[in-house]
């Protein structure tokens, strides 16, 4: 179950009773694919099966089942997505609703942990204004985020679910990151930015290397990288700077974060597709 923010374990721990809603079969045009899931408690939900009337119906049915101790523990809904329920998708969905017992609870927590471990890694180097804003934006997305800082105070107030790492040598975290990771460099010190980016560009197995700044900063980095860091021009072509592109001129941290988050997710998806394609071809 790909979710963000609150974890499956936290949700189930807070809910005395809960139900699992799963898209068992999807035919034609549907909001979500087969396998999409959400959790429902008497007061909250986690995840989504696509929203709209279909989801409202499933939540209502799940809560009726939770309220009735003598009712069914499992139920399948067969729902046409047409005018009958106020949706115009045109497809048809079978939705399985199961009241969660202890065995299913344990299975869901285990599966969520396995899925979380498979999520792509994003390493944010720097916890300043943009670092905080980008961490908040990425906390809503299916990625694992680690914010790396040399200053303890810069790590305060990070969103839930964001890992933090305090180290005097942040560039060492580049070496420890898994293949396919995204490296986003936005520290308080240009010289430190350059060291981290140079280390990141040594790796050809990462999905994204980005540095906050301007065209002037990138030109300065290029000169330093080629003259002082034994860098290669081809590696510089892999560096995204400024992060977030230049389509939007607004430089407020939240805006930069929104644009950069979209850019990072696109790079992660492209890298995953390329890696999977190479695996299949091999």
% residues pLDDT > 90 (the chain)? 80
pLDDT tens string 82-136: 776 666 666 889 999 999 999 999 999 999 989 988 999 999 999 999 999 999 9
* C-alpha span between 90 and 25 (Å, rounded): 14
Buried b (16+ CB within 10 A) or exposed e, 209-236: bbbbbeeebbeebeebbeeebebeeebb
- Note the CATH number of domain 119-281: 3.40.50.720
Provide mean pLDDT across the span 27-35: 91
Q: If you search the block for the tokens 């906390």, which residue do you land on?
A: 139
Domain with CATH 3.40.50.720 in the chain: 119-281
Single pTM value for the model: 0.82
Residue 122 phi, psi dihedral angles, 5° rounding: -120, 125
CB–CB of 238/184 below 8 Å? no
* C-alpha span between 23 and 48 (Å, rounded): 10
pLDDT tens string 134-184: 999 999 999 999 999 999 999 999 998 899 999 999 999 999 999 999 999
DSSP secondary structure string for all residues of the chain: ----SS-HHHHHHH-SS-EEEEEEEEESS-SS-TT-EEEE-SS-EEE-S--HHHHHHHHHHHHHHHH-TTS-SEEEEEEE-SGGGT-----EEEEEEEE--HHHHHHHHHHHHHHHHHSPEEEEE--SHHHHHHHHHHTTSSSEEEEEES-GGGGTTPPTT-EEEE-S-TTHHHHHSPTT-EEEE--S-HHHHHHHHHHHHT-SS-SEEEE-S-HHHHHHHHHHHHHHS---HHHHTTEE-STT-SS-----HHHHHHHHHHHHHHHHHHHHHHHHHHHHH-
């Amino acid at each position: 179950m790909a979710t963000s923010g609150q974890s499956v374990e936290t949700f189930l721990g807070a809910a005395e009773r809960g139900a699992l809603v799963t898209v068992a079969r999807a035919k034609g045009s549907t909001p979500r694919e087969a396998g999409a899931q959400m959790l429902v408690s008497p007061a909250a939900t986690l995840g989504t099966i696509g929203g709209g009337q279909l989801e409202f119906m499933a939540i209502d049915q799940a809560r009726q089942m939770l309220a009735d101790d003598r009712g069914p523990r499992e139920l399948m809904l067969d729902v046409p997505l047409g005018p009958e329920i106020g949706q115009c998708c045109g497809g048809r969905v079978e939705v399985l609703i199961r009241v969660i017992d202890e065995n299913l609870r344990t299975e869901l927590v285990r599966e969520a942990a396995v899925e979380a471990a498979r999520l792509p890694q994003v390493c944010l180097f720097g916890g300043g204004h943009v670092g905080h804003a980008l961490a908040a934006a990425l906390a809503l997305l299916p990625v694992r985020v680690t914010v790396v800082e040399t200053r303890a105070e810069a790590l305060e107030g990070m969103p839930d679910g964001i890992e933090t790492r305090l180290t005097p040598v942040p560039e060492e975290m580049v070496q420890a990151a898994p293949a396919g990771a995204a490296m986003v460099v936005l520290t308080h010190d240009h010289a430190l930015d350059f060291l981290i980016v140079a280390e990141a560009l040594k790796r050809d197995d990462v999905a994204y290397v980005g540095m906050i700044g301007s065209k002037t900063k990138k030109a300065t980095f290029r000169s330093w990288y080629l003259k002082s860091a034994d860098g290669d021009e081809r590696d510089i072509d892999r560096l995204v700077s400024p992060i977030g592109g230049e389509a939007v001129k607004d430089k407020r941290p939240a805006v930069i974060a929104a644009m950069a988050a979209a850019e990072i997710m696109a790079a992660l998806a492209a890298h995953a597709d390329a890696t999977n394609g190479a695996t299949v071809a091999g």
